Amino acid sequence: MTIPLFRTFCVIGPGLIGSSVLRRLRTDPGLVDRIIVADRDPAVLERIRCLDLGDIITDDIPKAVAEADCVMLCVPVGAIAPVAGTILPYMKPGAILTDVGSTRRSVVDALMPHLRDDIPYVPAHPMAGTEHSGPDAGFATLFEDRWCLLTPAAKAPQEAIDRIAAFWRAMGARIRIMDVDHHDTICAMVSHLPHLIAFTICGTADTLAEDMRAEVLDFAASGFRDFTRIAASDPTMWRDIFLNNSDALLGVLDRFSQDAAAMAKAIREGDEKTIVETISRGRRIRRSLLENRQA
């Protein structure tokens, strides 16, 4: 690639996702000419400096965004709208604003009054992550073959959308463009509900009698182990996701709770047919996942 996607690219809030983007940019120096990394936390900036992940590393966020052709917010979902509101007045006309938030509707609603007609807003949600967080947790291949969901604002010009899509393709991701509310329901089902359940079941185990709790930890079979892996994720990030996608999440949680109650009833009444049907569905979905090469 001879022409860079952006002259000056700015990441604000480099944690797991942001630092993975930066690492990938370092492996492919032609993508952007200059990298600015900004954060309010001096400890984060120090780590970015040690890892050599930015050309300019600063806590002066207005100055950082003023020079950028693209600003990517990698802050927790609850901070996206406030931070965007703060930086938008400083951004260059024509520069693109993007973020990597996991929920959309509440962010878009909060951001709408602050948006400028000369700043295209093209958020992108890379469906990738681990249970670890912070700038040291990132790695350059995090987005390889993972989906990245773009939910561009209605007013965003096609050129800006194409540029953000090209950027994420360069990160290794597969692109899908979709409507804000559709995005939120899909993510509530495939990611937010499983996390809510994982956090909850760990809490349930934690309230068992003292002696039993110790044994639960001793004997955690694979079932419980898998649940605790995703339950080890960052509390602030997930608090924000739950609060910012509450409608869609409570909707799928309600469906799930009804399904769990139906399963409990089947077990209580010895209804073998319903039990086997529910289990067989799991196998079918698993098979579909394998066919989609996501497993």
Q: Does 49 bind its own copies (CB under 8 A)?
A: no
Within 148-167, which residues bind its own copies (CB under 8 A)?
149
DSSP tag of 149: E
State which residue, 91 or 253, has the beta carbon closest to its own copies.
253
User: What are the structure tokens assigned to 294, written together?
Assistant: 């996501």
Block residue for tokens 């966020």: 61
User: Shortest approach of its own copies to residue 126 CB, angstroms?
Assistant: 10
Q: Does 187 bind its own copies (CB under 8 A)?
A: yes
Q: Does 139 bind its own copies (CB under 8 A)?
A: no
Within 90-129, which residues bind its own copies (CB under 8 A)?
127-129
Within 10-29, which residues bind its own copies (CB under 8 A)?
none
Q: Does 136 bind its own copies (CB under 8 A)?
A: no
According to CB under 8 A, which one of 56, 170, 177, 263 is a site residue for its own copies? 263
Q: Does 189 bind its own copies (CB under 8 A)?
A: yes
Answer left, alpha or beta for residue 134, where phi above 0 means left and psi between -120 and 50 means alpha. Answer: left
Distance CA 286, CA 57 (A): 44
State which residue, 88 or 196, has the beta carbon closest to its own copies.
196
Q: Does 143 bind its own copies (CB under 8 A)?
A: no
State which residue, 117 or 211, has the beta carbon closest to its own copies.
211
Backbone φ, ψ for residue 8 (5° rounding): -125, 125
User: Shortest approach of its own copies to residue 56 CB, angstroms?
Assistant: 33
State which residue, 70 or 128, has the beta carbon closest to its own copies.
128
For the chain, counts of helices (H) and of strands (E): 13, 8
State which residue, 157 or 257, has the beta carbon closest to its own copies.
257
Among candidate residues 75, 247, 108, the one with its CA nearest the CA of residue 178 = 108
Length of the chain: 295
User: Shortest approach of its own copies to residue 53 CB, angstroms?
Assistant: 24
* Gyration radius of the chain's alpha carbons: 21
Q: Does 198 bind its own copies (CB under 8 A)?
A: yes
SS3 assignment, position 118: coil
Q: Does 43 bind its own copies (CB under 8 A)?
A: no
The burial of 223, by beta-carbon neighbours within 10 Å (0-12 exposed, 13-18 middle, 19 or more buried), is given as: exposed
User: Shortest approach of its own copies to residue 17 CB, angstroms?
Assistant: 13
Q: Does 52 bind its own copies (CB under 8 A)?
A: no
Q: Does 232 bind its own copies (CB under 8 A)?
A: yes
State which residue, 50 or 190, has the beta carbon closest to its own copies.
190
Within 201-230, which residues bind its own copies (CB under 8 A)?
201-208, 212, 215-230
- Residue-wise DSSP of 180-193: HHHHHHHHIIIIIH
State which residue, 130 or 141, has the beta carbon closest to its own copies.
130
Determine the residue type at 180: V
User: What are the structure tokens assigned to 195, written together?
Assistant: 């996390």
Among candidate residues 150, 110, 148, 119, the one with its CA nearest the CA of residue 17 = 148
Block residue for tokens 């951004």: 91
Q: Does 285 bind its own copies (CB under 8 A)?
A: yes
